[in-house]
Amino acid sequence: MPRIIPIIMLGAVVALLPGRLLAAPEVHVVGLFNDRAVLLIDGKQSILRVGQSGPQGIQLVEADSESAVLLINGKRVVARLDGRVTARQREASVSEVQVRRNTQGMYTTVGSINGLPVPFMVDTGATLVALNSAQARRLGIDYRVTGAPASVTTASGVEAAWSVSLDRVKVGELELRNVAAVVLEGMQPETALLGMSYLGRLEITNSGQLMTLRKKF
């Protein structure tokens, strides 16, 4: 008999603290990968590859998991995660990620699973990280081979699923290994859920509209 895993799909998002730049446009770095970067440019998300230009003519010159080099208004700027882009870039903390509610009261971010970018909904009501089957296939997760049959309880009832372990899950600089997850057959959840199998291994503090995730030492 497949085991039943309770998982409630609620809502939530990791967004970056708003900030102002020394000059327009307003740019925040929210994801870094080899040869790619995820930027918020004037509040709109763009995923750029090296050599590509985004809104306001901002160009990604170089990128790796530590930093990105951007060309903004003809000036080269070195940017790190979770920081606003300015001529004098402050060092981003590698031990925490700050979280702010959006207008719908939900928290989302772009993180990664096994080194590939993934949009997440942060959900403290979800027992595990949860993916739909299409997301799992895109990430190269052969859940029918490596996983175990399971069932999950959602707001819609009991759904067929597969229990798997993810090698690496990362948000900002908070990377955890061997994270328990579940893959649901079909198209739900529409956005991957960042559940307590990841969040529970961090310190979480919530003060009004702001949530902070920290590594446990």
Q: Are residues 66 and 112 in the same domain?
A: no
CB–CB of 162/150 below 8 Å? yes
Q: Are residues 196 and 153 in the same domain?
A: yes
Q: Are residues 135 and 192 in the same domain?
A: yes
Q: Are residues 46 and 130 in the same domain?
A: no
Q: Are residues 9 and 33 in the same domain?
A: no
Q: Are residues 126 and 76 in the same domain?
A: no
Residues spanned by the domain of 190:
3-13+101-215
The predicted pLDDT at position 18 comes to 35
Q: What are phi and psi of 144, to 5 degrees?
A: -70, -25
Q: What are phi and psi of 68, to 5 degrees?
A: -130, 145
Q: What is the CATH number of the domain that holds 63?
A: 2.30.30.830
Q: How many domains does the chain have?
A: 2
Determine, yes or no, domain membership for 18: no
The predicted pLDDT at position 179 comes to 95
The predicted pLDDT at position 193 comes to 94
H or E element at residue 143: helix 143-146
pLDDT in tens, 84-133: 443 333 334 447 887 777 777 878 888 899 999 999 888 888 999 999 99
Regions in the chain scoring below 50 on pLDDT: 7-23, 83-94
Q: Are residues 118 and 182 in the same domain?
A: yes
Q: Are residues 73 and 129 in the same domain?
A: no
Q: Please give the Cα distance from 73 to 50 (Å, whole number).
A: 17
Q: Specify which residues 62 forms β-bridges with.
A: 69
Determine, yes or no, domain membership for 81: yes
Q: What is the CATH number of the domain that holds 165?
A: 2.40.70.10
The predicted pLDDT at position 22 comes to 36
The predicted pLDDT at position 2 comes to 55
The predicted pLDDT at position 96 comes to 80
Determine, yes or no, domain membership for 124: yes
Q: Are residues 44 and 7 in the same domain?
A: no
The predicted pLDDT at position 208 comes to 74
Q: Are residues 119 and 189 in the same domain?
A: yes
The predicted pLDDT at position 166 comes to 95
Q: Are residues 67 and 105 in the same domain?
A: no
Q: Are residues 32 and 136 in the same domain?
A: no
